[in-house]
Amino acid sequence: MAIIEKKESGTFTLQTRTSTYQMKVDRHGMLLHTYYGAKTDESDYSYLIMPADRGYSGQPGDLGNDRTYSLDFYPQEYPVYGDGDYRITGLKANLEGQVPALDLRYHSSRIMDGKYRLEGLPAMFAGAGEEGISTLEIVLKDRYEELYVHLLYGVYEEEDVITRAAVIENHTGKTVELKRVMSACVDFAEGGFDLIHFYGKHAMERQMERRALPHGITQISSRRGTSSHHHNPFVILSRPETTEDQGACCGFSLLYSGSFQAQAEVDQLDQTRLVMGINEEEFCWRLADGERFTTPEVCMVYTEEGFTGLSRRFQRAFHQRLIRSPWKDRLRPVLVNNWEATYFDFNEEKLMNIARQASDLGLDMLVLDDGWFGKRDSDNSGLGDWKVNEEKLGCTMKELAEKVNALGLSFGLWFEPEMISEDSDLYREHPDFALQIPGRSPVRSRNQLVLDFSRKDVREYIEQQIFRILDEANITYIKWDMNRSIENVYSAALPEGSQGEILHRYVLGLYEMSEHLLERYPDLLLEGCSGGGGRFDAGMLYYAPQIWCSDNTDAVERLKIQYGTSFGYPMSSVSAHVSVCPNHQNGRETPFKTRGICAMQGAFGYELDLSKLSEEDKEEVRKQVKVYKENYKVIQSGSYYRLTSPWENHDVTAWSYVAEDQDRAILAAVYTDLHGNPAPVRVRWKGLKPDAVYEVEGSSYTGAALMNGGYLLPVPKCNYDSCLLIAVERQA
């Protein structure tokens, strides 16, 4: 049984393949958290909670004079504001016009086969009747008001993950103001954790940082309206001794694409609490009588197999249980995007020159990026006017797609549906469609404003423009971009008291539009983008099987970007391209071979003018495309291993993929520094069959030899040289 309820002790124990999670309803009706860690039995672990009379730690009002019981230091499953717990909380709410205060007690519970669903939000799924997947719902009720909190737990035994979400239900007869609603809370009975998170900036996302948690509150968050380039809604708590291959660690991924926060607090007793959910800073939700509010989902993994074990569980679970696209197991098209080749300066002739070269070199798709619509010869105008500029193209979009298709290529198109330029027909006709504060000059970014996607009429208008173009032309791929953070959050369509709902309603609107798009065009390959990796989160993977990882296409800097991304996301979701040198972001020169090897870590493509390549580079393109297509199953669905860290090893960064049946593996390495009289560089493979014999570069090795003795990498011939090695099991 994945979920075990023991009524005599009041415990609920959730069991995955290697982890156990437990909570308990105590004699006061409080739902306490008792255990999360390595798999164990269903004993009542509340014996680890020590009652004590601690100064300045008060008691719930119905406990009388029992000073040894305080929610200020007891571990709780879903802590709330106003019941004597002064730590970070999961829920802060009040009846309209009253002081926030809650006192939640156990009301009911039920265990169900299958996985719960969340209305309007991405969530991990399960097929009908699948075994090993179950749901626990625990309902808490306020002691004084008819306010209910439904705590939802999804247990995936085989994938080794647990999901969490909460639903707030109002039957008070009045409006309730939700001022803070977290998706999950986990209380650990000890401290001494390291926090690992993934910070960054535009063109340098998901840089790994590890530090010991101090006493007090540590917060990782975004208030930019998106998950952001700057922080990612994925964090890890680990023991200081945890390494890539061994040690305890616990990961938390929020399936949400808007402003978020993850907070960790080490309290007066060295206990550690972690909460995660929607950022409360600009959030206030008016929940009318009879309404429900649903939080985004959190996916949790605990393992004692180090960061590799953690990553493999997240990667496998998201690939199998989150990504719905029919493209998730197909060979993705190897594409060329014209952006860095032409920017806004293109016409039909330039595009077709690139397309003809793409066809000759074995690529599968041409993607037309920004500049094809409205008055759009720079990034200062035209957004919102999704009408094909036929004068610029020299033909209709339908005709262009047909010409590309005639070369044996499919055709893709870039959109930025969430944005509006003040210099646009749409803004001149509907200035109220933009998020901006009346009477004030708006905060501009990239000289554009944000459309109010909290409004249904705005979403429907943009949908109609996009659908008209997709209906007319054979477009099989869309790159959905978003190129600024959200500020001046005011909607002309919402009443004053509901302005705190806009950012969340915006995200719900984004998800609704994505759902409508995929329902209408079920075979469409959708790629997410927000100036690169500004919305690279698990929520978007529910709609888009791949996300443009970063606007930084430099192969060397991509090593760190893709390294950090790999901790919590499938590498098949990482969209990566070979671009021109000197690189347009930092001016670095790298070998064409190295650029290809780095880009082959994920969904592979090119972002340059193929017609301007040398014959030598064109031959390299043919080789890269051939290698990628021959090995795509290993790259898209194989086990991914980080063999060296670019943060710790400044000489070489190496990684590998191993096929599901372990009969084939790929090892790639990039030299990031060179030395005179260099020492040999040895890399140990991972994930092979110890007793199998593998052929590598014409020589034979046992899996045990490659994993324990390792493999000597070839000596680099130039700066940023690289190698790609393929191990194939020798058949008896």
Which residues are marked as active site?
Answer: 481, 551
Q: Encoding tokens for residue 69? A: 């019981």
Contact of 299 with 161, CB cutoff 8 Å: yes
Residue 728 is given by DSSP the state E
Q: Is the dihedral of CA 379, 380, 383, 388 positive or negative?
A: negative
Q: How many CB atoms lie within 10 A of CB 434?
A: 24
Q: Which residues contact 235 (CB under 8 A, 6 or more apart)?
A: 195, 196, 197, 220, 251, 252, 262, 264, 274, 276
Q: Encoding tokens for residue 229? A: 């380039």
Contact of 437 with 490, CB cutoff 8 Å: yes
d(CA 186, CA 79): 10
What's the full length of the chain, in residues?
732
3-state DSSP call for residue 79?
coil
The closest alpha carbon to 200, from 560, 482, 702, belongs to 560
Q: Is the dihedral of CA 668, 672, 676, 680 positive or negative?
A: negative
Q: Encoding tokens for residue 382? A: 């035209």
Q: Residue 719 — left, alpha, or beta (φ > 0 → left; ψ -120 to 50 → alpha)?
A: beta
Q: Which residues contact 448 (CB under 8 A, 6 or more apart)?
A: 379, 383, 419, 420, 421, 483, 484
d(CA 679, CA 22): 51
d(CA 576, CA 598): 8
Largest CA distance in the chain: 85
3-state DSSP call for residue 186?
strand
Q: Quick one: which H or E segment has residue 555?
A: helix 555-565
Measured torsion, CA atoms of residues 539, 545, 549, 551, in degrees rounded to the nearest 10: -100
Q: How many CB atoms lie within 10 A of CB 98?
A: 12
Residue for token pair 């659908």: 467
3-state DSSP call for residue 20?
strand
Q: Which residues contact 581 (CB under 8 A, 6 or more apart)?
A: 588, 589, 590, 592, 595
Contact of 59 with 69, CB cutoff 8 Å: yes
Packing angle between helix 502-520 and helix 456-472, nearest 10 degrees? 30
3-state DSSP call for residue 222?
strand
Q: Encoding tokens for residue 688? A: 């092979």
d(CA 662, CA 730): 12
Q: What are phi and psi of 240, to 5 degrees?
A: -60, -30
d(CA 113, CA 126): 10
State how far Cα 655 lies from the chain centre.
Answer: 21
d(CA 647, CA 664): 28
3-state DSSP call for residue 80?
strand
Q: What is the DSSP string of 636-661?
A: HHSEEEE-S-TTT-SSEEEEEEE-TT
